[in-house]
Amino acid sequence: MKGEIAIEVINLSKSFRLPHDNRYTLKQKLLYFAKQNSYETFTVLNDISFSINKGDFFGIIGRNGTGKSTLLKILAGIYSPDKGKVITNGEISPFLELGVGFSPDLSGRDNIFLNGIILGLTKKEIKRKFDEIVAFSELEKFIDQKLRNYSSGMFVRLAFSIAIFANKEILLMDEVLAVGDIYFKEKCLNELNKLKQAGRTIIFISHDMKTIQEHCTKAMLLRKGKIAAFGDPITVIGTYTAK
């Protein structure tokens, strides 16, 4: 398995059209009905290419607005690229935004089933893994409460626990450990390292350089939609922090 590619990105580009006039309300739309709105194009990712091997703990760093989250959404199939392509070798478990796929009016128990099905698990598989998911999240006392009563840290615990027990080969994680206590963060990182050793691939966005340096096997720096550095995490972090 060593050296086998999990994800290959080839000449990938993505842009968004930003309107000069924001017309959100009905009144605004009626007032400017006859006036054609103008746009400008914002290039988020500009002809980038790289590959990630199976078993990599791959960190992506860069300032806000450099295309990190957009890249993960393209890898997850949420966005389509304007140009280029992504080749994946394995099933993906995306954990990109806090609470996506959750229903605040359902209990934690019901959301485990709902989110598990979204991630491709069968009801039978969820039932078999249910106790492990709850135990890892440490939310036994709250599992039958509605999610609207959960704190942001409790959201993270539940969502992370479902994602790691989804048993997919590739995990996509966007700043998922920025919320929550230090103890649970370290517990999650230890679990991710176990998954890496078992041959899973983790792609991880973070602004925490200490976490990137200590846990990632490779890293990539995005700057203005381009790859500014790629490879050894310490070297990549040095490029990022250099003035």
Find the length of the chain: 243
Contact 49, 1 (CB under 8 A): no
pLDDT above 70: residue 148: yes
Identify the pLDDT of residue 25. 60
- Domain covering 5-30+43-241, topology: Rossmann fold (3.40.50)
> Which of 160 and 40 is assigned the larger pLDDT?
160
Concatenating the DSSP letter of every residue in 146-186 gives BGGG--HHHHHHHHHHHHHTT--SEEEEESTTSSS-HHHHH
pLDDT above 90: residue 24: no
> Which of 138 and 176 is assigned the larger pLDDT?
138
Band of pLDDT at residue 87, cut at 50, 70 and 90:
very high
Q: Sketch the domain layout of the chain as residue ranges.
A: 5-30+43-241
**Residues 67, 70, 74, 76: what is their CA dihedral angle, to the nearest 10 degrees?**
120
pLDDT above 70: residue 26: no
Identify the pLDDT of residue 229. 96
Find which of 23-32, 142-151, 182-191 is predicted with most confidence, using mean pLDDT: 142-151
Band of pLDDT at residue 88, cut at 50, 70 and 90:
very high
Identify the pLDDT of residue 98. 58
pLDDT tens string 36-63: 666 678 889 999 999 999 999 999 999 9
Q: Strands 83-88 and 57-61: what pairing?
A: unpaired
Please state, for a pLDDT cut of 70, what percent of the chain lies above it: 86
Please state, for a pLDDT cut of 90, what percent of the chain lies above it: 50
Band of pLDDT at residue 141, cut at 50, 70 and 90:
very high
Identify the pLDDT of residue 85. 94
pTM of the model: 0.82
The residue behind tokens 């966007």 is 174
CA angle 180, 181, 183 (to 5 degrees): 130
Closest CA to 80 of 13, 173, 6, 8: 13
Identify the pLDDT of residue 17. 78
Distance CA 44, CA 41 (A): 9
Q: Average pLDDT for residues 60-77, to the nearest whole number?
A: 92
Q: Average pLDDT for residues 146-160, to the nearest whole number?
A: 88
pLDDT tens string 197-224: 888 999 989 898 998 998 999 999 999 9
Band of pLDDT at residue 157, cut at 50, 70 and 90:
confident
Identify the pLDDT of residue 101. 73
